[in-house]
Structure 1
Amino acid sequence: MGKFEGIQYIKDQCFMDLPELSSFAQDLSGKTIIVIGANIGLGLATAKHFASLKPSRLILGCRSKEKGDAAVKEIQQGIDSSETTVENWEIDLEKNKMISDFADRFEREANGQLDILIMNAGLNTICHTSTESGWEKSIQVNHLGTALLTLLLLPYMKNAPYSPPTPRIVVVGSETHYFVTFKKQARKPNIIEALNEETSSGAMSERYYYTKLLNLFFARSLAARLPSPSAENRNPVVTVVNPGWCKTELMRDQQTTLKGRVIRVFSLFMCRTAEEGGRVILWAALSHLDNELHGRYSTSFRIEEESDYSLTPQGREAEKRTWDETISILEKVDPRVKTIVQEQLTNPSS
């Protein structure tokens, strides 16, 4: 069963000889790729890897225009700009209007085809902050915003040609999904609302873990409603990848806490570089294991079983409930969500 194996994790982080990009890279000529959260750290490293494979268009989804523009310049220095267009599109997953506007812009300015979507934006904070939509910030950014943009861009992925690599949605997850369950929240009428109501410092110390479990549940639910990709249905592969513990700014809000200090010490000898983590993400995006990856979780260049809880009847029921709750929330944000769910997705029981 899917238990977190500490010894294997240490082996992966400290001793694994990670495959080079060249061992699984593909020519991305003519492809359109979006990397969300691409202006720094893991997202920037991932975007650089993609740029080296010569896609026609590489769109960086960045919260900061200034940092996004700087990332574009940095990437352009290492590629032939006549082969790949690199663009910075401003987006903040904290703000629903910016998410809808991003999708509108893609409809206007792109060619209607999206080949690879990397949902990398993430927030790990111990401070409780509510967004303008009333959701705690990390629930909004890591889960609701991620789900909204993914659904709004889904129709364009069905326009992409069924050629290697198969159109792919890659949600960046984490091994931390093994550490929590929704057993307590499931006693309430709405799981996501119950999680949102937990505002104590203790609750916030695990909030990132819960959002990573929500990421897993969303990706599996979406994949279940998109039958296995084929040339006939042109469905994208939907998968969750754990890039491993990488040296980035994800934990910057916890630097002054005891937990943050301990993590900082261990990071000195356990962290991967952002470049290495980017390679793990690229593997999930480019691997030929289409059906094997669809609706699954991978880490360190291999597919692994998800947490025990997520595979139990209680976990499956929580997954169904959080999908229904998520769609109900997002339909009120952007009416296109209801249409996309009705027209693009199937009933998983059918």
Structure 2
Amino acid sequence: MIQLPLRRFRDKFFPEQLPPPDSFDGQTILITGATAGLGLAAAKQFASLGAAEIIITARNKSKGELAKKRIEEASKYGGKGKGDKKVTVEVLELDMNRYDSCVRFVEELKEKMRKKEGKGTIECVVLNAGVINPTFVESSEGWEQTIQVNTLSTTLLALLLLPWMKEMQTDHKTPSPPHLIFVTSRDHLDPDISMWAEWARTGSGILQHLSSEENFPSGIMPNYDISKLLLTYVVREICKQALGSDGRPQVIINPVCPGLVQTDLGRAISQQSLFMRIYLPLWLRTWGKPAEYGARSYVAACLTERDDYGKFLVSLYTDQEYSQMAIPNLESETAREVQGLVWAEIMGELTTKVPVLRNSMFKFGGDGQEDF
């Protein structure tokens, strides 16, 4: 589609506008994977727009502390918010390769917020952490790492955080619901799902098939599009759980695509060959937008209203174009079946390996499917 590169080029030079100063005045923002790239750029923007506290995650504490200093500088000199307000930046450790790290992180976060004086709430959570691997890497949990980080661990964080966010909204009677943002991609439109239901019926399951080294696809970003489609299925299911008894969302959930961005997320790709070391940076500089511009999509997502609940936020397509393009993977009869199968497999995996989920707001049957 010729429109895609043209719109990428447009987004590079005509970015989304930042909201008015102090749009996040006094708010607490959580961003996973914010030591570099889009996550760091977003944290700096939230800081310059008046956020009182920003919580970031890092696998490496020293990298987290360096990012903290850069965010604090953005608050001081950013010029969009109140420069006399010093932002508080907290760094919490999180390794998305391991479920126990995700659980410890959420427990530490909850304890920290309980100890806060006054309003111990989080207004926005941005699940940004992700990976791109050109070669097969197995996670600590036994899954291909792209699927582990981008889908399974991101899902786990959402399932652990959502009930708590709903409670905060109820207990503190906040005027507007908090936001839970999933960083996805327009690439979820690309996978061919025609065989997925068959893998569930006759094989070891969809996730096992996609995660096996034997079936690891070729290409520069293998499994990335698949991981984002799996996550999109998850988001559509989790959206159902964010509603209150009145049918209105207690937490506003949106998946967002930041577009093609000049970050080091694909650094492993550039290390594959001399050609890729030359080609990838050139391609990104030509078509990709700066991280600062891509991060504005996160900022905008944290300002959506209830009417936009569940909407996929993307600048590359109109709503009508996306609706048509999403039919094969999201709205067709096959897609609806696959979504249910994927959700059941993910819930089976997580409730088996993460017992704490059984005590959450989600009720599951013995096969990992929901009992609502």
Q: Does residue 321 of the first structure (1) align with residue 341 of the second (2)?
A: yes
**Superposed counterparts of 1:170-181, under 5 Å:** 170-181=181-192
One-letter code aligned to 1:98: S
Q: Does residue 108 of the first structure (1) align with residue 111 of the second (2)?
A: yes
TM-score of the two chains, using structure 2 as the length reference = 0.82
RMSD: 2.8
**Superposed counterparts of 1:173-322, under 5 Å:** 173-189=184-200, 190-199=205-214, 202-203=217-218, 205-227=221-243, 235-255=250-270, 256-257=272-273, 262-288=279-305, 290-292=306-308, 294-300=309-315, 304-305=322-323, 307-309=326-328, 310-322=330-342
SS in structure 1 of the partner of residue 6 of structure 2: helix
Contact 1:185 1:195 in 2 (8 A): no
* Shift in CA distance, 183/162, structure 1 to aligned 2, threshold 3 Å: farther
**1:21 corresponds to:** 18
Identity of aligned residues (%): 26
SS in structure 2 of the partner of residue 60 of structure 1: strand
Unaligned runs of 5+ in 1: 1-5
How big is each residue's C-alpha offset from its partner over 1:4-33, in whole Å with a ceiling of 9 and x where there is no partner? xx333223211242232135x653234221
Partners in 2 of 1:180 and 1:9 — Cα distance?
17
**1:46 corresponds to:** 42
One-letter code aligned to 1:219: V
SS in structure 2 of the partner of residue 89 of structure 1: strand
Q: Aligned match of 2:131 in 123, 130, 152? A: 123
Contact 2:243 2:249 in 1 (8 A): no
**1:11 corresponds to:** 6
Contact 2:150 2:231 in 1 (8 A): yes
How far the C-alpha of 1:83 sits from its partner, in A, is 4.4
**1:133 corresponds to:** 141
TM-score of the two chains, using structure 1 as the length reference = 0.87
**1:143 corresponds to:** 151
**1:75 corresponds to:** 71
Partners in 2 of 1:140 and 1:101 — Cα distance?
17
Question: Whose Rg is larger?
Answer: 2
How far the C-alpha of 1:53 sits from its partner, in A, is 2.3
One-letter code aligned to 2:185: S
How far the C-alpha of 1:331 sits from its partner, in A, is 0.9
Contact 1:61 1:88 in 2 (8 A): yes
* Shift in CA distance, 92/68, structure 1 to aligned 2, threshold 3 Å: same
Which segment is superposed worse, 269-278 or 200-209? 200-209
Which segment is superposed worse, 30-39 or 181-190? 181-190
* Shift in CA distance, 100/75, structure 1 to aligned 2, threshold 3 Å: same
**2:80 corresponds to:** none
Partners in 2 of 1:349 and 1:61 — Cα distance?
33
Unaligned runs of 5+ in 2: 77-83, 115-119
Partners in 2 of 1:155 and 1:316 — Cα distance?
25
SS in structure 2 of the partner of residue 87 of structure 1: strand
Contact 1:165 1:286 in 2 (8 A): no
How big is each residue's C-alpha offset from its partner over 1:187-218, in whole Å with a ceiling of 9 and x where there is no partner? 12321111112445635743111001011111
Partners in 1 of 2:235 and 2:343 — Cα distance?
10
Contact 2:257 2:314 in 1 (8 A): yes
Partners in 1 of 2:245 and 2:45 — Cα distance?
25
Partners in 1 of 2:267 and 2:180 — Cα distance?
27
One-letter code aligned to 2:208: E
Partners in 2 of 1:179 and 1:233 — Cα distance?
32
How far the C-alpha of 1:182 sits from its partner, in A, is 2.7
Contact 2:216 2:222 in 1 (8 A): no
